[in-house]
Each structure stands twice: as structure tokens, then as C-alpha cells.
Amino acid sequence: MAITIDHFTIALATGAVIGLLDVVPMIAQRLAFRSCLSAFCTYLFAAVIVFYSDLPYLPWWADGMGVTLMMAIPVLLTLTGKERRAIPVILLNAVILGLLISLSERYLG
């Protein structure tokens, strides 16, 4: 008997794993719970969006990067006056974790 996992469950599992990858260093730095929850939810939702969308003019592997970068922009705008040093880290995380979401969607979904 084979176990089948539906597309949505894989999307949620991918988002949860990617979200945890982003949040664990934040917890180690003792950042606020709100910030950690916000980052986790961002990647959880980004995975679902990537799994169920196809951005025009982008190859499959860039869909996740495009979505996560777009979702990171509002966060960056809130940090422009406070934590400017965090901006490159957030952008780099969005690109790397977005690529991992795309790879997961391609090979698991």
C-alpha cells in the first residue's frame, strides 16, 4: 500500500521547514517572538504561493526567489530607519530560501 501526500501538504511541509531554517538563527539571537513568528509565516505562505503559481518570464527555479523577494519588501521598508544592517541578510535569506522552495516544488511537488 503506497502512501500518497497531496500537493498542498507538501507545500505546507516545505514552508514549515524553510520557515524553521529562517527562524532558528533568529531564536539563537534572542529576537522578539513577533519577529520570529512573522518570518516563519512569511516562508510558510511563500511556499504555498510558489507551489500554486507560475510567475511569467521566470524559469521554474526563480519562482521561489521572486515570490520571497516580493514578500520581503514590506519587511525591508519597516527596517529602513532602524536595523539597516539586517537588510542584506533578509535579502540573501529570501534568495536562498526561495530557491530551496522552488527546488522542493520541482522535485517533491
What is the structure's pLDDT at 2? Answer: 60
Query: What's the pLDDT at 5?
Result: 82
Using left for φ > 0, alpha for ψ between -120 and 50, and beta otherwise, residue 57 falls in left
The size of the chain, in residues, is 109
Q: Which helix (DSSP H) or strand (DSSP E) does residue 35 occupy?
A: helix 33-51
Joined together, the cell numbers standing for residue 16 give 514549515
By the 8 A CB rule, do 53 and 63 touch? yes
**What is the pLDDT, as a whole number, of residue 1?**
57
| Predicted pLDDT of residue 86 | 83
pLDDT tens figures, 77-107: 887 777 778 889 999 999 999 999 999 999 9
Distance of CA 30 to the CA centre of its chain: 20
The conformational region for residue 74 under phi > 0 = left, psi -120 to 50 = alpha, else beta, is alpha
6-50 confidence digits (pLDDT tens) = 999 999 999 999 999 999 999 999 989 998 999 999 999 999 999
